[in-house]
Amino acid sequence: MEIEGVDILVRSPERRTLCIMIDRDARVCVRAPSAMPLDTIRRFVDSRRQWIETRRQAVRERLARTPVRNFTEGESFLFKGQPYPLRFTPDSPAPIVFDRAFIIHERYRRKARQMLVGWYEMKAEQMIGERVKVYADAFDIDYAGVKVRDTRSQWGSCTIDGRLSFSWRLVMCPTRIIDYVVAHELAHRRHMNHSQAFWLLVEKMRPDYKEQQQWLKENSPLLRF
């Protein structure tokens, strides 16, 4: 449903208050209690117009920084926060090799994106699984398993039964960013919400977590393709 430029209205019987969110594509989502009159929601949205536009503009500016990906020779892709060039060669010993560059065999040139995503997924399973174990052991937190997914709107998630999921795009980030997202999802094993107690646990695991949140906000466009 559209309310004068606001794209999405979500009603929920569980909600008791109104909430406005701006997603990573600059879309606006208003969450409201099921029984709340539409006129009340309209007035609330109107009262927040300046805030909405300011936030949307900030998101649009970040989106403008999203590089156009052509998967051509010399184009840079991130790994652990550092850019590395894409190379093609007929002499590669494997379909894709990482050696201070992403080296793809010439025969897979047209499948370069697919090859890169597959490599990132493999590294994500290894790296994120290791970081989850480190933090879970250090803070005595249990979990049921770790999966890597191709998600764009979430860096991680945690189910009620302790299954953790993470975006493979995290391996494009510096390790400290991976650690923050890992800590965030493990904290949900104790608190399935974003309460003060939840954030205190995140801070215990990652004292500088706010810096890592800011890094993700500012650099998320660079992680898209």
Q: In order of start, what are the domains of the chain with their CATH numbers? A: 8-64 (no CATH), 119-223 (3.30.2010.10)
Q: In the prediction, which pLDDT does 1 show? A: 47
Report the C-alpha gap between 88 and 108 in whole angstroms. Answer: 9
Phi-psi region of 74 (alpha: psi -120 to 50; beta: other; left: phi over 0): left
User: Does the structure show a pLDDT above 80 at 2?
Assistant: no
pLDDT at residue 5 in the model: 59
User: For 61-112, how does the pLDDT look when each residue is reduced to its tens digit (9 = 90+)?
Assistant: 877 777 889 999 999 999 999 999 999 999 989 999 999 999 999 999 999 9
Are residues 149 and 176 in contact, defined by beta-carbon separation less than 8 angstroms? no
Q: 119-123 long-range CB contacts below 8 Å, 24 or more apart?
A: 120/168, 120/169, 120/171, 120/172, 121/148, 121/150, 121/168, 123/79, 123/171
- For 122-154, how does the pLDDT look when each residue is reduced to its tens digit (9 = 90+)? 999 999 999 999 999 999 999 999 999 998 768
Q: pLDDT averaged over the chain?
A: 90
Q: Taking a C-beta distance cutoff of 8 angstroms, is the pair 135, 153 a contact? A: no
pLDDT tens track for 4-33: 556 666 777 777 888 888 877 788 888 888
pLDDT at res. 165 = 97
Q: Rounded mean pLDDT of 160-187?
A: 97
Distance separating the N- and C-terminal Cα atoms of the chain:
29
Q: pLDDT tier at 3 (50, 70, 90 boundaries)? A: low
Q: What is residue 220's predicted lDDT score, i.e. its pLDDT?
A: 85
pLDDT at position 208: 96
- For helices 112-138 and 175-187, angle between their N-to-C axes, nearest 10 degrees: 60
So what's the pLDDT on residue 200? 97
What pTM value is reported for the model? Answer: 0.77
